[in-house]
Structure 1
Amino acid sequence: MSELLRQHIEKIVLLTDAEFAHILSHFVSKKFKKHQFVVQEGQVVAHDFFILSGCLKSYSTDVNGKEHIIQFGMPDWWITDYQAYYGQSVATMNIDCIEPSELLCLSYANREKLCAEYHKIEHFFRKKTNKRNVALQQRILSLLSSTAQERYDQLLQQYPELFQKVPKHLIASYLGVTRETLSRFRQSDK
């Protein structure tokens, strides 16, 4: 499974076997059960998580108990509460497993150590952060300027595998629509 991490990194920078072995030694592998929290609001966020298998969601819950999904996480993706991770502070959102998941956990201290040791790893993380910033900007613009139908179509086109793994009510929450609206969109696909 660690080969997935190497392939992921090598989309941006090439590594020798020795470099990868050293980098991998800074990660801890953990398995999580379905519905288990990886990050919980109010707790210190110690890790960034590279997803080897499974599916996760990061979300905030409002005062009325309504979940607002910020992000889904699938294999070959990273997920954490970045505000808390970089600030080494408590989480303002939750991340839990939609299905059993295996993650590689990277502490902030180990990330900083690896970036200091390897310019190419610092470059890798900078590129990943840039890509995440662009995706977040696109998501915000989509929520502000696209119709619900357009957001649904875009999500289905970009990540069709999500519709196989993620329950419909969670997709609806991510899109900011009701389950009934999502059902109408799904009917129009047929």
Structure 2
Amino acid sequence: MDRLRQHIEQITPLTNEEFEYVKTFFSLKKVRKNQYLVHEGDEVKYEYLVLSGIYKVFYVDEQGKESIVQFAQENWWMSDYYAFFKQKNAGMFIECMEAGEVLCSTLEAREKLSADLHKMEHFFRVKLTNGYVALQQRVKLLLSSTPQQRYEAFSHLYPDLIQRIPKKFIAEYLGVSRETLSRLYSASK
């Protein structure tokens, strides 16, 4: 739970008493490689803070093509947020790519923490805002850039992920073929 406190305190300080209260709203879950936290169609009860491991959030279209929406690594939040906030069934999957641990929290916990502690409302608002900004940048990059530019942006923003994620999945995330990614990777060396 120390990592949770450090994570929160990057945005807002907490007293010991406040943190003792905050941590009661989170539970620890160990996750095996290839384990799913969410399947399409599931009720989405949790959002997750990644303590360790790598996860992918993705959906599968009618033709069976997988599209990766997000990778999540240490100190990142993830869920099928449409389903989580709207209390709908999942339209996405979350799969663990590298064994790790996550902290789980419910929407009710988030709402209660935000109502009880203004600091936590501020924390969640900052996290949501940053996530929304990152998502807009990703959409803009996908819509208006070349595969080379997408690869360069990804490798610049997430240099550690290049080493930890199989190239097949990076290609899916960037919207390019595995062969194109190999050419881009070779050209960047």
TM-score normalised by the chain length of structure 2: 0.98
C-alpha deviation, 1:64, in angstroms: 1.8
For residue 112 of structure 2, what is the amino acid of its counterpart? K
Alpha-carbon distance between aligned partners in 2 of 1:104 and 1:32, rounded to the nearest angstrom: 11
User: Residue type of the partner of 2:157?
Assistant: Q
- The runs of at least 4 consecutive aligned structure 1 residues that moved more than 6 Å come to none
Tell me, in whole angstroms, the C-alpha distance in 1 between the residues paired with 2:133 and 2:10.
18
Partner deviation per Cα, 1:86-118 (whole Å, 9 max, x = no partner): 111110100110011200000111111111110
Residue 51 of structure 1 corresponds to 50
Report the secondary structure of 1:122's partner residue: helix
3-state DSSP of counterpart to 2:183: helix
Does 74-83 or 14-23 show the bigger shift? 14-23
Q: Which amino acid aligns with 1:9?
A: I
Counting only pairs closer than 5 Å after superposition, residues 136-151 of structure 1 correspond to structure 2 as: 136-151=135-150
How far residue 68 of structure 1 moved from its aligned partner, in angstroms, is: 0.2
- Identity among equivalent positions (%) equals 48
2:23 match:
24
Q: Which residue matches 2:106?
A: 107
Alpha-carbon displacement from aligned partner over 1:60-84 (angstroms, at most 9, x marks no partner)? 1112211100000000100000101
Q: What TM-score, normalized by structure 1, do the two folds share?
A: 0.97
Q: 5+ residue gaps in structure 2?
A: none
In structure 1, stretches of 5+ residues that fail to align are none
The corresponding residue for 2:74 is: 75
Deviation at 1:22, TM superposition (A): 1.2
DSSP 3-state at the match of 2:159: coil
In the aligned structure 2, how far is the partner of 1:161 from the partner of 1:21? 33
RMSD: 0.8
